[in-house]
Amino acid sequence: MARLPRLVIPHALHHVMQSSHQDISLFRDDEDCRTFLGFVLQASKQYKVSIHAYVLMPDHVHFALTPSDEQGLSRMMQFVGRFYVPYFNRKYQRVGSLWQGRYKATVIQAETYFLPCSVYMETNPVRSRLVQDAGDYQWSSYQHHIGHRVDPLVSDHPIFWALGNTPFQREANYREMIASSLSAKDIAQLTEATHKSWLLGSAAFKVEIAKLTERRVEPAKPGRPRKVAAA
């Protein structure tokens, strides 16, 4: 089956994930994390991509972001790979790619899925047992969202701002969401949609996005198309 072109919709929220090749550890020390995020910050500004949440895991990375045009997302990811891979290979005296194929991305309905997506990413280190509390993990946007630091990489999404009229209210409400965690259904939906690059949202949202692209936005229904009787 031919691979579908990646779905990129300007000004829409996207969930992006990229994994390392053969379980290579992408970040072996804090310098690696800072260097990677520095390249992401530079590329996001250059290609006008707003990053709303992220997490760096040992063998993969996640972003929730909004591109301003159809090319910005791919150009940002290419920029990061073009600079981080040579940095990593020089430092650790290795050759070859770090990435397991191309990055995965899907468009998600912000009103319904931005906050679950952000929580999904920022609690990933807890689910993976790297830390006991999301606040103990340095390499995600969580500390920004609860007001412990201002992260220059993060551009707050309007849905996050809607959590409260003051920073205190927003941060407190977000902490409650993190404490409540996600249902198994939410985790499965976010994981499957991103891995398979299918749109995640309501039926009305899928119809709206389908009008903006010639690419299919959800799997075809099983079975053969019904034959139309001859007139």
Q: Please give the model's pTM, rounded to 2 decimal places.
A: 0.90
Per-position DSSP letters for 26-93, written without gaps between them: S-SSHHHHHHHHHHHHHHHHHTTEEEEEEEE-SSEEEEEEEESSTTHHHHHHHHHHHHHHHHHHHHHT
For 68-85, b/e burial (b = at least 16 CB within 10 A) is eeeebbbbbbebbbebbb
Instruction: Name the CATH topology of 14-206.
Output: Alpha-Beta Plaits (3.30.70)
The pLDDT value given to residue 75: 97
The span from the CA of 74 to the CA of 223, in Å, is 34
- pLDDT, residue 222, reads 59
Six-digit token string for 115 = 């906050």
> What are the structure tokens assigned to 145, written together?
């969202």
Mean pLDDT per block of 10 residues along the chain (231 residues) reads 73 95 92 98 98 97 97 97 97 93 92 95 95 95 95 97 94 90 86 87 90 76 55 40
Q: How much of the chain is helix, strand and coil, in % rounded to 5?
A: 45, 15, 40
Q: Where are the domains of the chain?
A: 14-206
